[in-house]
Amino acid sequence: MQSKWKIIHAIYALQVVVLLISGWLLSSPAIRESLSKFHVYFREAHIATGFILVISMIGIVCRMPRNVWKTGNINYPLAVILSFAMAVTGMMLVFGIDFGGEISVHSLHRYNAWTVTVALLLHVASVYLVGRQESLSESQIVGKNDMMPVTNRRMFINWLIALGAIVGVGSITKFLQGDDAPKSEGMAIQYKDCNKMQPLPVPSLGSIPPIGGGHKGEFEVFTVTEIPCSHSETWQFAISGLVERPLEMTWKQFLNLPRKVQVSNFHCVTGWSVYDVTYEGVSISALLEVVGGKPDGRFLKFTSSDGVYTSALSVEQAKMSDVMMVVLMDGEPIPSSLGGPVRLIVPQMYAYKGVKWLTTIEVLENPHMGFWETRGYENDAWVSKK
């Protein structure tokens, strides 16, 4: 390699490694919990490096010798193609653009990252194993004199191997993640459920069949703790603090609260969304009517039965008509992995406001900063207005 390319190569490699590591830190469930304090910094570092990579990529493509596509050396084109795919899906995540549900940009981005990881490992291995030949073929690209295009046949085989590797890696990761469950067979198969709630909530009109036609896109099961399994005998719901009539409710009593059905979208701040979810639950404004809020109670604190996760809204925000404590999703009890038996949804805000395994609401005079809010995410989590 010429020394100029050596430097460019080293800088590029460093950026890719930083992206893979920060991306892994962002997406690994174990680390999501233990290093949650740094989550927002990992995210910022990841996005910043991503933008720098886009700039370097443009630079490299502009300086790349024309014949690079004809030499049969797939390293450069493959690096460009994979980086391009990562950059496009990454930008879509940052700017909240997606394909409207059928394909999740988030899973494409991750699929891509696995492909990059494997391609990178293969590249490193091949350089170590056939180091000399490798540098020879690099000189074919970079050197001005011997631009020796390889035969079409050789090039075809190279590309076939590259494509095979990409498809193979994708299938293996899909298999390892085990998200091949058929969508049509219902939530119980698609998402794990360890709750034992009796009786089950009876869906109202509109929930079955779901008026939204069933959710589009897939939920990433996000949790900073173990998933708690709830039992109707021990499950309890409480609303306390600055209210006229504090309440403690059993599961049966909770099921007696009037419910309504709505269709809404779900947006995680990390960029993935789920659309047209038909939710049935109890609106917070209805609950506040029952307990009677005191005038100096201006904020609500929501606590999960996991004992760790909290979030908060102002009373004004919580009274928005689409803020609800959900018991049914698309006509089925919301599974424990998605926050059942009762989870909060705040459709107009990012989903970190949507406390899963919700069991306690406190009405407070002063704002409360929740789990992610104390770790750098905005307390006012509006998806669009700002």
Ligand X SMILES: Nc1nc2c(c(=O)[nH]1)N[C@H]1C(S)=C(S)[C@@H](COP(=O)(O)O)O[C@H]1N2
Q: Which does 309 bind (CB under 5 to 8 A by kind): Mo ion, ligand X, none?
A: ligand X
SS3 content of the chain, % helix, strand, coil (to 5): 45, 15, 35
Residue 349 lies near ligand X (rule: CB under 6 A): no
Least Å distance between CB 222 and ligand X?
4
> How long a stretch of residues is the chain?
386
39 phi, psi to nearest 5 deg: -50, -50
Distances (CA, A) of 79 to 61, 87, 214, 277: 10, 12, 39, 38
**CB nearer ligand X, residue 79 or residue 329:** 329
Residue 20 lies near ligand X (rule: CB under 6 A): no
Residue 275 lies near ligand X (rule: CB under 6 A): no
Least Å distance between CB 156 and Mo ion?
44
332 phi, psi to nearest 5 deg: -120, 150
Sign of CA dihedral 10, 12, 13, 14: positive
* Residues found near Mo ion in the complex (CB under 5 A): 268, 351-352
Which of 81, 118, 142, 221 is in the footprint of ligand X by CB under 6 A?
Answer: 221
Sign of CA dihedral 203, 330, 264, 347: positive
**CB nearer ligand X, residue 158 or residue 301:** 301
Distance CA 92, CA 131 (A): 37
**CB nearer ligand X, residue 5 or residue 352:** 352
Residue 359 lies near ligand X (rule: CB under 6 A): no
- Specify the residue for token string 């219902």: 186
Which of 224, 238, 364, 383 is in the footprint of ligand X by CB under 6 A?
Answer: 224
Residue 158 lies near ligand X (rule: CB under 6 A): no
Name the DSSP letter for residue 264.
E
Mask of contacts with ligand X, 172-211, x by CB under 6 A?
----------------------------------------
Contact positions toward ligand X, by CB under 6 A? 219-224, 268, 304, 306, 309, 338-339, 351-352, 354-357
